[in-house]
Amino acid sequence: MPGFEVFGEEERKEAMQVFDTGVLFRYEFGEQRRGVYKVREFEERFAAYCGVSHAQAVTSGTAALKVALVALGVGPGDEVITQGFTFVATWEAILDLGAVPVFSEIDDTLNMDPVDLEKKITPKTRAIIPVHMMGAAARILEIVEIAARHGIPVIEDTAQSPGASVHGRKLGSFGACGTFSFDPVKTITTGEGGMVTTNDPDLWRIFSEYQDHGHDHVQNPGGRGGEGRRFIGFNFRMMELQGALGLAQLAKLDAIIKEQAVNKGRMREVLSSIPGISFRTYVDVKGDSATFLAFFLPSIEKTKAVNAVLREHGAGAVYFAENTWHYYPQWEHLLSGSTLAHSGWPFQDGHGRRRVIYDPQGLPQSAEIIGRTLVYQVPVKLSDERLAQIALAAKAAALV
Ligand SMILES: *Cc1c(COP(=O)(O)O)cnc(C)c1O
């Protein structure tokens, strides 16, 4: 996830145009801004890049999830299905609306297992959020088909996979909404920031109003203070400096993916010498954004032993089974229902009754897979020295 690796002159140039006008707000300031609308331009270019009709910029990927869920009418009493391997933000957004996250298993794509998804649909399911983890697609065609059969909208959490695609169609364009993050470690970054994509103009209008306190953005003689509102909203507005950075980063996205694909190939080759190694399954390998290289070993014991040797040689991989931010059994605050609210909300209702109970052993298939999974982040700039270090580590690990 290397937006920061290629941060430089282009970003500076875009941002300076904002400094030159002095307008940081995405709306209003008609004359002073001299035609500079960075956030709006970033939205238009991002939508075009993803092949959708509309994109709404917001303050973060977490905000993007909230805006999408709100726009689909999700709230207390509803269930939203997502996967047990994702960043905490996905279910934080669901819980923050008072809805209940229901977790599906993953399969060897390391994303939502459509078979388990279908088992977890109930009459209360109001949205499904597959997460395109680590640069590559979930089985999105099957997921969208199942969801359509049940009349449930899909939100694609594409925070980790901008620019990735399936059969030439960009992720974030398959569901009712796609959500993206531009936080400091994502593939392209605006420091903090997010985007919601859709092909539905009515849905987009709701995003646009909700993220700006309900402002309807209809031109009227009273200006912004005279604008109408249809419902209560919130503030998730992106600022012009972020829009400027987004424009510069988006222009580099295809080049980032291209470089990563080359480096991923080199890394994969040197790792292939480890006996018993196999690699993540891709729905469409040509559409992989190549931000991560994930591989499997035959058993949990072997996985730990191999990673111990890789670590000794300065090339340890990420072992998500032990990572506290991305994997269900490690989310102790979710499992125990830790919240700041006196009432215990959203884990308890106003009467001290538990609304939801999570079983740490509830996702055995995911545990079996994640326990055997090791992951390298793929850099845009991979030095020969680093590659040689990984190769040496892999050679040592082959003897385990
Ligand atoms: C990073 C991330 C988010 C949240 O994005 P922020 O911009 O950091 O709020 C949501 N989902 C996934 C899968 C992520 O990796």
How far, in Å, CA of 143 to CA of 115, rounded? 9
**Do 49 and 17 have their domain in common?**
yes
Residues 81, 63 share a domain: yes
Same domain (yes/no): 30, 14: yes
Query: What pLDDT score was predicted for residue 220?
Result: 87
Query: Domain check: are 101 and 229 in the same one?
Result: yes
Which contiguous run of DSSP H or E holds residue 243? helix 240-250
Average pLDDT of the chain, as a whole number: 97
Residue 355 lies in a domain: no
CA angle 165, 167, 173 (to 5 degrees): 50
Do both 129 and 232 map to the same domain? yes
> The domain containing residue 213 runs over which residues?
3-252
* Residue 311 included in any domain: yes
The three state secondary structure string of 269-312 is HHHCCCCCCEECCCCCHHHCCCCEEEEECCCHHHHHHHHHHHHH
Q: Do both 225 and 82 map to the same domain?
A: yes
Best residue for ligand 1 mutational test, from 94, 186, 323, 328 (most atoms within 8 Å of Cβ): 186
Looking up tokens 């207390």 gives: 76
Residues 6+ apart with CB under 8 A from 265: none
Q: Which of 187, 227, 239 is nearest to 25 (CA)?
A: 239
Out of 192, 220, 252, pick the residue that ends a domain: 252
In a domain, 268, yes or no: yes
In a domain, 228, yes or no: yes
Residues touching ligand 1 (Cβ under 6 Å) are 60-62, 86-87, 89-90, 131, 157, 159-160, 181, 183, 194
Domain count, the chain: 2
* Domain annotation covers residue 26: yes
What confidence tens digit (pLDDT) does each residue in 123-155 have?
Answer: 999 999 999 999 999 999 999 999 999 999 999
pLDDT tens, residue by residue, 216-267: 999 888 889 999 999 999 999 999 999 999 999 999 999 999 999 999 999 9
Q: By alpha-carbon position, which residue is closest to atom 2 of ligand 1?
A: 159
- Residue keyed to tokens 């010498």: 273
Co-location of 307 and 195 in the same domain: no
| Confidence (pTM) | 0.98
Q: Which of 197, 228, 252 is the endpoint of a domain?
A: 252
Task: Say yes or no: 48 and 153 in one domain.
Answer: yes
CA of 187 to the centre of ligand 1 (A): 11
Same domain, 183 and 265: no
